[in-house]
Structure 1
Amino acid sequence: MPHSIRPGDLLAGRYRLVDLLSESGSGRFWRAHDRILERHVALHVIAADDPRSEGLLRAARRSATVLDPHILRVLDAEEVDGLCYVVNEWGTGTSLDIMLGAGGVLSPRRAAWIVAEVGAAATVAHGAGVAHGRLNPENVLVDLHGSIRVIGWCVDAALHGNPDPRVEDDVDDLAGLLYAALTGRWAGASDSAVPSAPREHGRVLRPRQVRAGIPRPLDVLCDEVLDLSGRGRGLRAPESARGLTAALEDFVGDPAGIPESLVERLVSRGSGPVRFSAVPELGLRPADEPEVEPTRVVRAEDLPRDEPTTAVPDDPTVAVPLGEAPAPDPDPDPEPTQAQPDEPTQVTALDPDSEADPEPDPDAGAEPGPAASDIDRPTEAALPSFSDPEDPEDRDGREGRSQRPVPGPPPPPLEEPAARPLFAPEPPDGAPARRPRPGAASSTGAGDYWPWDTGTGHGTGHAGADTGTGAFGSMTHTGSGVLDEGVGVDDDQVPGRSTFRLAALLLAGVLLVVAVAVAFNLGRGRTPLGSVPEDEASSTPSSSASASATPEPLTGLSATDLDPQAEPPEENPELTGNAVDGDPATSWRTNTYNQDLGPAGLKTGVGLVVDLGSPAEVRSVELDLVGEGSQVELYVTEEAPTAVADLEPVADVTAGTAESIELEEAVAGRYVTIWFTSLPDVGDGFRGEVSEIRVLG
Structure 2
Amino acid sequence: MSTSSAIEPGTKLAERFRLEDRVHESNGATLWKAIDEVLARPVAVHTFDPDFPRLNEVVSAARTASRLTDPRLTQVFDATEDDGCSYVVSEWVTGDNLADLVAAGPMEPERAAALVAEVAEALAHAHEAGVPHLCLTPEHLVWTAGGTVKLLGLGVDAVLADVVHDNMRVEDAARGDAEGLGRLLYAGLTGHWPGEEAPGGLPVAPTDNGHYCTPRQVTAGVPGYLDTIVCRALLPESKRGQTPLASPAEVAEALSSVPRPAPMPMPAPPPAPPVTASRSEGLDTAASPQRHTPPPPPPYRPVQQPHPSGGGGALGKVAVGLVVLLVMAAVGLGAWTLGRSIGNAGDAPEAGGSSSPTPTTGTTATREVKPDSAQGFDPLGDGDERSELASLALDGKPSTDWHSESYPSADFGRLKKGVGLLIDLKESVAVKEVTADFGPVSGGTVELRVGDSKDLDDLGAVAKASGLGGKETLTAKSPKKGRYVLLWFTEGPSYQGKYRAQVNEVKVRAVK
1 or 2, which has the higher helix percentage?
A: 2
Structure of larger gyration radius: 1
Q: TM-score range by the shorter chain?
A: 0.3 to 0.5
Q: Structure 1-normalised TM-score?
A: 0.35
